[in-house]
Amino acid sequence: MTKTKRVLTLFLRFLAIGATLAAVIVMVTSHDSSQVLNLTFTAKYSNEQAFKFFVIAEAIACGYSLILLLTFSQTSLWRLVLILDVVIAMLLSSSVSAAVAIAHVGKKGNTHAGWLPICGQVPKFCNHVTGALVAGFSAAIIYFLLIFSSLYSVQNTLFL
């Protein structure tokens, strides 16, 4: 485990903490309400199961990265950390894709099932959710970069 690899890993984990934290905060603070023909139409993230799952998954990933960053002196457990990284990356990608699927229905609607798009009534909510999804997507990409760099360094030590 060379020093540059440790610095790169720490930097990527720090970026991942930032991205997951941003995703959680932006999603939680997204709400909008509009009046349509005497009916108030409020949109919050907690109305959708997929967004709740997104918040929980990003929070788990953020907590995991924080714990790892604070105990980074334990280099003997790097194999377990790599396997846990794979599990967390899987969780992140699943949550992002679920939220993107529901947001896609919210933006474009689903004519086959008779589901109308809601972004026309609550555009502020839609923009907020889009920002949170972008942060979540970048967090997933950062985790995959982490895994690939760890695997690449493991495989490179075979040839040294």
Partner 1 sequence: MASENGEKLDLRLNIVSDTKQQKEWISLSLRVVAFVATASATLIMALSKQTKSLVVATIGTTPLTIALTAKFLHTPAFIEQGLRLGLIAILDVMAVALAASGDGAASFMAEVGRNGNSHARWDKICDKFEAYCNRSGVALIASFLGITLLLVVNVISITKLFKLNRI
Binding residue for partner 1, selected from 8, 25, 59, 98, defined by CB under 8 A: 98
- For 74, counting Cβ atoms within 10 Å of its Cβ (0-12 exposed, 13-18 middle, 19+ buried), the class is exposed
Q: Which stretch binds partner 1 (CB under 8 A): 3-11, 12-20, 106-114, 128-136?
A: 106-114
User: Residue 34 and residue 38: Cα distance in Å, rounded?
Assistant: 10
- Give yes or no for residue 2 binding partner 1 (CB under 8 A): no
- C-beta of 139 vs 140, nearer to partner 1: 140
Binding residue for partner 1, selected from 28, 69, 82, 145, defined by CB under 8 A: 82
- Give yes or no for residue 37 binding partner 1 (CB under 8 A): no
List the structure tokens of 81: 């950390």
The set of residues, in sequence order, having a beta carbon less than 8 Å from that of 57 and lying 6+ positions away, is 91, 92, 94, 95
- C-beta of 35 vs 70, nearer to partner 1: 35
Q: Which stretch binds partner 1 (CB under 8 A): 2-10, 18-26, 66-74, 98-106?
A: 98-106
User: Residue 96 and residue 111: Cα distance in Å, rounded?
Assistant: 23
